[in-house]
Every structure is written in C-alpha cells, then in structure tokens.
Structure 1
Amino acid sequence: MNDNRRPIESRSNRYVVALAAFLARTRVTPNQISCASAVFAGIGALALLRLDSIVSMAMAIVCIQLRLLCNVIDGLVAVEGGKKSITGPIFNEFPDRVADTCLLVAAGYAANVPSLGWAAALFAALTAYVRVFGGAVGMPQRFIGPMAKQHRMAVLTFACAATMLETWLNRGHVCLLASLALIAAGSALTCVTRTRALIHDLNGAQEDPEHA
C-alpha cells in the first residue's frame, strides 16, 4: 500500500468501485472530482446555517456524505483508473481544507459560537499540516486519529441527525455545539498524536543505518 494514501475501507465497496470504474471511462478527471468535494461541502455549509429546518439538516448530511464519497472516488479514478497527474497531490489536499473549513465554520455560526467553529477548522487544518509535513521530511504520512477527517465528518453527520430530532421535538439545539467542541478537542489531540508518531518515526530512521 502507498504510505501516503489514506486507508479507507469503502474503497473495496463494490458500488463505489463500480462508480469509480464508470467515471474512469469518462472525461471526468480526479482533480475535478476532488474539487466537487469542496462544492458539496459549500452547499452543505449553507444548509447548516438553517439550523431549524429538518430538510436543511438532511441536505447537510447528504452533502457531507457526497463530500466523503468524492474523497474516495478521486483516488480510485486516479490510481486504479490510470488517470494520475502531476497536480494530483495538490488537488487531493487543497479542496479538503476548503471543505473542512466551510462545514466547520458554518456549523459554528449555526450554533451561535463562531469562534468554536473557527477553532475546529483551524485544528482540522493543523492535523493535515502535521501529516503532510511528515511526508515532506521523508516519513510515511500518518492518518491516525482520534479525530481524522472521516471521524470529524462522522461526528458532524451525527450532530446534524441529532439536530433534526431536536427540531422535531421542539427542543434547544445543543448537539451541534457539543459536536464542534468534540471535533475541536479531538483534532487538537490528533495534532499531538501525529506529532509524537512523526518524532518516533524520525528517531527510528536515525537509528536505522539502512535508512540513513
């Protein structure tokens, strides 16, 4: 396995594989799919701002899942479909940072705590920074959690579903606020765990004469 490729179980899902195979036969490029993930995230962010609407929360959930689907399919089309490009690594990273920021910041404004949304987005970006920095110094990129991208989106999806229930029961909206706090704290901890793993890898490489 490529050390710089995120391990995702859904890559082996036959429906996902079939969709990727179909797109690989078209003129659609992996970079376009990567950009589509940011578009879906932007639509999801707008939906998040309408916190009192069950329909909007459902749309946010769909957009979050479509964002994740694009993140899986772009790599399949690029690698298994033979459409890798020199600019692929850029499009693989930048739209993800835009998508995370749009969704988390919008969630913060929806929960009436913008600073928490911005904090969650900042720590989410830092988790990616630490991972990519590991690759830049010659180490395998670490996709470990506890709040990697798929975990952040799972928590946000659950929060949207819980918000739908809160709206239906005419209760106050606290689940989205709690989820943002969890994402921010978990992402900060992920920065620590990835940094520690990187230091361990670097120390191990220094002690390994073959690597040196």
Structure 2
Amino acid sequence: MLSIYQLKPRFQSLLRPTVQRLHARGVTANQVTLGAGVVSVLLGLLLAWLSHITWLFILVPVWMLLRMALNAIDGMLAREFDQQTRLGAYLNELCDVIADAALSLPFALLAGVSPALVVIVVLSATFSEYAGVMGPLAGASRRYDGPMGKSDRAFAFGVLGAGIAFGIFDATWSNGLLLVILVLSLYTLYNRVRQGLAEAR
C-alpha cells in the first residue's frame, strides 16, 4: 500500500551527515525522541491557547517536517551507533502517539470544525499505531503499512494547517479533509491487522 513511509530510506540518506555530527557531539537517540515529543506538546498547547489566531497554524507543517526528520534521526542514532535500549523502544512509540494527539487536537477548537470528528481521527490514529505495535505479539514484525501511517498523517495535518493559516480551507473543506484522514486511518488499521496476520502465517 502506497505510503510516504516508503520514502524513508532516501530521507535517511540525506540526514546521515547530520546524524554523524550529532553523534560526535554526544547527542543520544533518547534525547532526540524526548525533545521532539516535548516540543510537539508545547506547540499543541500554544495552538490550543491561541486557536483564534489561525495564521499560527502554519507552524504545524513547519514542525511536522522537522519532526519527521527528528524521528528519522533518533532511529538512525539508535541503529547505527548501538544506542538501542528498551527504554528507547517505549519512548519511541509513546512519544509519537502523544505528539500526534497534541498536534491534532487543537484543530477541534477552530470555528466550524467538528470537535467530535477531530477526536475520532485522533483515536483512529492511535488505534492504527497500536495495531502496528501489536505485530510482534502476533508473531509478525512491527507493521508500518499505510495508507495513513505516521508520516502520511503528518503530511495531511500539515496540509490542513497550511490551508487554515492561509485562509484556503473553510470549515467545510477542513471537515472534509478530516473525514478523508479518518477513512484512510481506519483502512490503515485494517491493513496492519491483515498484513500482520498474513506475515505470521
């Protein structure tokens, strides 16, 4: 299933020099993971507090791009410089889910946007990530199948944030895009369970 996640190897190649410099300076994978999570939560709180200032939502696509880079960097530091730890595995999964929720929920406070739809989108994203994590419990690998994986959601909410910031999306368009994200997230949930079972067999 097509997903932005499939571009990850090329993205990692571009980031490798940065990763090597960070390692040389003593930066660890867990520090990068926690840092990205903390900034995501702080940005979510800022957007929730100032949701009436819609141009601030341009920070969503900017931070989503940086966050995707940081997510790739922490994984590369862990794998390529022997920094993989059990704590890191927990932080990697938990920080991603918390950050996604923190960056998504402020959209529920925008005029005309359906709060219930935003909450359901956040829940469906959480469930799809949980289904991916459950792969090893079923005898499969950690599943990253799309079409609405972590990177795809980051792109979709980045587009939504930019559209709102520049006044391109009104409430109808915003709710429509959220509905598309929801449908694709639910299909991702189904797809990860299906592919995990197929792999385990």
Q: After TM superposition, is the score higher than 0.5?
A: yes
**Residues 1:107 and 2:107 are matched in the alignment:** yes
Look up the match of 2:58: 58
Look up the match of 2:196: 198
Q: How far does residue 97 in structure 1 lie from its aligned partner after superposition?
A: 0.7
**Residues 1:29 and 2:28 are matched in the alignment:** yes
Look up the match of 1:44: 43
Equivalent pair of 1:45/1:102 in contact (CA under 8 Å): yes
1:1-212 → structure 2 map (5 Å cutoff): 8-9=8-9, 10-13=11-14, 16-46=15-45, 48-49=47-48, 50=51, 52-54=53-55, 56-110=56-110, 112-166=113-167, 172-202=170-200, 204=201
Report the aligned-residue RMSD: 2.1
For residues 67 and 51 of structure 1, what CA distance do their matches in structure 2 show? 24
For residues 140 and 158 of structure 2, what CA distance do their matches in structure 1 show? 32
Q: Compared with structure 1, are the counterparts of its residues 201 and 126 closer, same or farther at alpha carbon in structure 2 (3 Å cutoff)? A: same
For residues 175 and 74 of structure 1, what CA distance do their matches in structure 2 show? 35
State which structure, 1 or 2, has the greater radius of gyration over its C-alpha atoms.
1
Equivalent pair of 1:108/1:177 in contact (CA under 8 Å): no
| TM value normalised by structure 2 | 0.85
1:152 is paired with a residue whose SS is: helix
| TM value normalised by structure 1 | 0.81
What letter corresponds to residue 198 of structure 1 in structure 2?
Answer: G
2:94 is paired with a residue whose SS is: helix
Equivalent pair of 1:57/1:160 in contact (CA under 8 Å): yes
Report % sequence identity.
24
Equivalent pair of 1:166/1:173 in contact (CA under 8 Å): no
CA displacement, residues 162-209 of structure 1 (integer Å, 9 cap, x when unaligned): 123316xxx73444333322222211111111111122223x3xxxxx
Gaps of 5+ in 1: 1-5, 205-212
What letter corresponds to residue 122 of structure 1 in structure 2?
Answer: L
Higher helix share: 2
1:96 is paired with a residue whose SS is: helix
Equivalent pair of 2:140/2:197 in contact (CA under 8 Å): no
Larger relative contact order (Cα-Cα within 8 Å, sequence gap ≥ 6)? 2
Equivalent pair of 2:138/2:196 in contact (CA under 8 Å): no
Q: How many residues align?
A: 192
For residues 118 and 128 of structure 1, what CA distance do their matches in structure 2 show? 15
2:147 is paired with a residue whose SS is: coil
